[in-house]
Amino acid sequence: MAEDELALFDKSINEFGSKFINIFSDTPCQMVGLRDAYKDSIKALAEICRQNKLIQEKKENLLKLITEVKGKKQELEVLTAKIQDLKEEYFRKKETISSANKANEERLKRLQKSADLYKDRLGLEIRKIYGDKLQFIFTGIDPKHPESPFMFSLHLNEARDYEVSDSAPHLECLAEFQENIRKTNNFSAFLANVRKAFTTMVYN
């Protein structure tokens, strides 16, 4: 019951009590006892109202706290999901890089195995140099100076394509040879064409 309603109720009871006392004035002791009991009841009822109000406030504070905790829990779940996504992305990229490195190593191994075959037939020596490059050195091209080196460098770029550079002496057609090997992947024909170009340069 609201406090205003209690006050109105109290007023009504007092008026009733006054009338009751006037009518039954021959029993004042009983009326006094009844009035005191009424006042005690009003006090108890007022205390109950205050307690209910405190309980309601505590209930509201508790609901607010529960809502905040749920919000923090949702934020934590979102953050945990993001961390998991980052982990999965990291492992995917790591696996991709690992696979690319393995493929790169296999291609370099195949090139190295071919070195022995080319060395005897084409006077070719292959060296691994700085930057994961392979240096190809031809000899026996110039009849007057058979030990004179004719060379170029080769490596695999980020796109895993052959990239040819550093030819000495310089070959104008090296870019064309590079484009051909990227299309055909015929390494033997590529080497033969480079040697032929060096030979043509010497005789011209």
Residue 101 lies in a domain: no
Domain that holds residue 181: 108-203
Q: What are phi and psi of 31, to 5 degrees?
A: -65, -40
pLDDT in the model for residue 178: 93
What CA–CA distance (Å, rounded) separates 155 from 161?
A: 8
Residue 26 lies in a domain: no
In the three-class reduction of DSSP (H, G, I as helix; E, B as strand; rest coil), residue 86 is classed as helix
Q: Could you tell me the mean pLDDT of each successive run of 10 residues in the chain, 204 residues long?
A: 64 68 56 68 80 87 86 85 86 85 79 69 82 89 91 90 90 92 90 92 87
Number of structural domains (the chain) is 1
pLDDT in the model for residue 8: 72
Residue 171 lies in a domain: yes
Global pTM value: 0.43
What CA–CA distance (Å, rounded) separates 50 from 104?
A: 81
Q: What is the CATH number of the domain that holds 121?
A: 3.30.457.50
pLDDT in the model for residue 19: 66
pLDDT in the model for residue 128: 87
